[in-house]
Amino acid sequence: EIVMTQSPATLSVSPGERATLSCRASQSVNNNIAWYQQKPGQAPRLLIYGASTRATGIPARFSGSGSGTEFTLTISSLQSEDFAVYYCQQYSKGTFGQGTKVEIK
């Protein structure tokens, strides 16, 4: 079983600043990495797939990078609506990371 580990658990960022979230896979996942955003009381929303491709309608301030076992989600300039929990997922088998909460500093 592939284990996905996200860091940090919580990230405190001021509006307008950059946020960098990390995700590590326990073995290579061939770039089958997705990132989802979840706000309280809502279903997750797909942001990124293929490690770096934005899903339809996702703003350009969201970007993904990485390969092999190390992946990053970057939010270039945090907007108020971006404060949420972010999950990475390897979609070869569906395993999710434990999430990173991005909170207002």
Partner 1 sequence: EVQVVGSGGGLVQPGGSLRLSCAASGFTFSSYAMSWVRQAPGKGLEWVSAISDSGGSTYYADSVKGRFTISRDNSKNTLFLQMNSLRAEDTAVYYCAKRAEYSGSYYLFDYWGQGILVTVSS
Contact footprint for partner 1 (CB under 8 A): 32, 34, 36, 38, 43-46, 49-50, 53, 55, 87, 89, 91-99
Minimum distance of partner 1 from residue 57's CB (angstroms): 10
Minimum distance of partner 1 from residue 49's CB (angstroms): 5
Residue with smaller CB distance to partner 1, 61 or 101: 101
Residue with smaller CB distance to partner 1, 49 or 62: 49
The dihedral over CA atoms of 91, 95, 25, 48, expressed in degrees to the nearest 10, equals: 50
- Whether the link from the prior residue into 44 is cis, omega within 30° of 0, is no
